[in-house]
Amino acid sequence: MSAQPRMVTSAERLRRLLALVPYVAARRVVGLAETAATFGMTERELIDDLNLAWCVELRAPEPYCPIDLSYEEGEISISQAESIVRPLRLAADEASALLVALRMLADAVGGGEAGGDGDAVARLIAKIEDAAGAAGAPSSQVTIQIEHPNARGMVATLNAALAAGKRVHLRHYAPKRDEATERDVDPMRLLVVEGRTYLEGWCRRAEGVRLFRLDRVLSVDVLDVPASVPATAEQVDVDAGLFQPSPSDVLAELELGPAARWVAEDYPCESVTELADGWLRVGLRTPDTAWVRRLALRLGEDARVAAPASLADEVRASASAALALYD
């Protein structure tokens, strides 16, 4: 049985088109197969995108001027797309958001360390401030506060451990179990995802790569032991989402009404099936169904839990308990 193609959201397709047109226009002529491989899609998907780009009309060089493209004999060419190819200027909100995020990243990697990642981030901030001009000025009014009172010290300690290639000992709070765990970790990198700073490392207790939020790390000590990350260890692909489902996770299936179809775009779905009257049935894998229960309660009559039966029972019980409070 062949695998079903992954559903591409409208937002993803728009981002792809905005990258595809400048990619082809900058090269004047490029191969169809080569372009499809570069963007990680099939040639059929690429042709569908090109047919969509054909329908786009731009206000430059003339009002309502359609993009001129062709993909004959396995080669693509695009013209009359100057307003897309030309680099865009940052608006005030875009420049401010980017600068605030970069300053947070500078805190995480140690912005004052010459020659390191912090030095590269500092140079990038200076370039964007210079290019943005007045548009970037509002960002200077924003003060970033690290969530954990000891986070700055932890970042410095972990950067030192990374530089020295040393193992660290963590006391880490696990909210799902409401307990503090002790574990030795071989650090791999520090990263900022969705506004939070994480340590990625090989956990000796779990025997696998794990991410530790610094605001949940109670203490960190550098051990006089060399870090030893297995050659098979792979960094977490945070671009695909912070946490990826495992085949061993619970498969929760929801039926979503038209007003809740956004769930299929905002959450990583293992399967998406069209039902009658605009409804969808989606499959979500998760190690903890508590958030799925909360999501179903929030969606109300626009969603139904189809499986597993135990989760449906939990949602009904939670809803009944909430309604009872009104009595």
The 10s digit of each residue's pLDDT in 1-46 is 444 455 566 667 777 777 777 777 777 787 888 888 888 788 888 7
Domain 10-85: CATH architecture, name and number where available: Orthogonal Bundle (1.10)
113 has a pLDDT exceeding 50: no
Give the other-Cβ count within 10 Å of 122's Cβ. Answer: 19
Phi, psi (5° rounding) for residue 233? -70, 135
Task: Confirm if 215 and 147 have CB atoms less than 8 A apart.
Answer: yes
pLDDT for the residue 1: 44
The answer regarding whether domain 151-240 maps to CATH 2.30.30 reads yes
Q: Residue 44 and residue 24: Cα distance in Å, rounded?
A: 17
Q: Residue 254 and residue 127: Cα distance in Å, rounded?
A: 47
Higher pLDDT, 1 or 248: 248
Q: How confident is the model at residue 314 (pLDDT cuts 50, 70, 90)?
A: very high
Percentages helix, strand, coil for the chain (3-state, rounded to 5) are 45, 25, 30
Average predicted confidence (pLDDT) for the chain: 77
Predicted model pTM? 0.43
Phi, psi (5° rounding) for residue 161? -65, -40
309 has a pLDDT exceeding 90: yes
Q: Residue 233 and residue 189: Cα distance in Å, rounded?
A: 13
What is the token pair recorded at 252?
Answer: 């929760």
Q: Using one digit for the tens of pLDDT, what is the confidence trace for 210-220?
A: 889 888 888 99
